[in-house]
Amino acid sequence: MLKTSILAALLATALPIAAMAQDKGADTVVATVDGTPITLGEMIVMKEAASQDPQMAELGDGALYEMMLDQLIQQTAVAAAGKESAGVRAQLEIQRRNTLAASAIAEVAKAQPTDQEIQAAYDGLFAQAEPVTEYSAAHILVDSEEKAREIKAELDGGADFGTLAEQSSTGPSGPNKGDLGWFAADQMVKPFADAVAGMDKGQISDPVQTEFGWHIIKLNDTRLRDVPPLDQVRDQISQMVLRDKVQAEIQRLTAAATVEKTEGIDPAWLSKTDLLEAE
């Protein structure tokens, strides 16, 4: 009988404790500072914001809890001494709206694009696309036509292109023997792209002028870049679809809002920072 009574007493004590643990919500007060509550929700948000800090990840739950609570206690105590000026109220309102807007966008972003949406976006980008010619080339960039012609004469006389590029080119590719890697024509300024498009493999151009200076170009090779298969670009297409959804929702909400702009506001007033000091 005695053992039964003890067990019953333990169960009677444990059940309310378990119920209390389950009842904890974001509004649960974990401390007060001069009557101002600090809530469990604030602690959770603080932990989420600091989740990328490797030092935080090394702390156990108990140490992390105490550290964050101490920080929030200090913050609350110091905040009570702050003056709520017009500038402070403006900052708080901007932060409030920004947080709510981020929450609304997060809801839209929760739904991942469907396979049908990804396929449709892919078809829209690539269904009519033709293979693109890419070029592998090197160049020597100098600041005058005279210097470019001197270098061209040396190359015609058998000088090594890469060596001259290292010695004379003012462009960032100079230390790499002038190599520009692979590129499509639309990645280069038009005079350069036009010159490359008219060259044969292995050919060295006459001086070509662009906004960057004078170029001597050597075409190493060409190739066709085919349309990428869907599986290769699925992640990028998915991000594009998601971005378009978010932008469409922003435009929808903005268009649905009743907007009334106040007339007569002088844009020069943006420089009146003294207005922020008013209480």
pLDDT given for residue 22 in this prediction = 52
pLDDT tens for each residue of 94-142 = 999 999 999 999 999 888 899 999 999 999 988 878 888 999 999 999 9
pLDDT given for residue 1 in this prediction = 41
For the chain, which residues score pLDDT lower than 70?
Answer: 1-23
Contact 149, 168 (CB under 8 A): no
Contact 191, 210 (CB under 8 A): yes
pLDDT given for residue 257 in this prediction = 95
pLDDT given for residue 9 in this prediction = 46
Contact 31, 73 (CB under 8 A): yes
Contact 136, 220 (CB under 8 A): yes
Euclidean distance between CA atoms 81 and 191, whole angstroms: 64
Q: Which domains does the chain have, with CATH numbers?
A: 2-82 (no CATH), 132-225 (3.10.50.40)
Which token pair is 44? 């959770």
pLDDT given for residue 189 in this prediction = 96
Strand 132-142 relative to strand 179-184, pairing: antiparallel
Euclidean distance between CA atoms 192 and 200, whole angstroms: 14
pLDDT given for residue 23 in this prediction = 62
Secondary structure (3-state) at 155 = helix
Secondary structure (3-state) at 9 = helix
Contact 77, 34 (CB under 8 A): yes
151 contacts: CB under 8 Å, gap ≥ 6: 140, 142, 164, 168, 216
What are residue 183's DSSP bridge partners? Answer: 135
**pTM tops 0.75, yes or no:** no
Q: What is the DSSP letter of 43?
A: H
> What sign has the CA pseudo-torsion 225, 177, 199, 142?
positive
Q: Report how far Cα 271 is from the mean position of its chain's Cα atoms.
A: 30
Secondary structure (3-state) at 258 = coil
Query: Could you give the maximum distance between any two Cα atoms of the chain, in Å?
Result: 112
5 contacts: CB under 8 Å, gap ≥ 6: none
Question: Which of 66, 59, 11 has its CA nearest to residue 38?
Answer: 66
Residue 26 — φ and ψ, nearest 5°? -60, -25
* Amino acid at site 45: V
pLDDT given for residue 12 in this prediction = 47
Euclidean distance between CA atoms 159 and 157, whole angstroms: 6
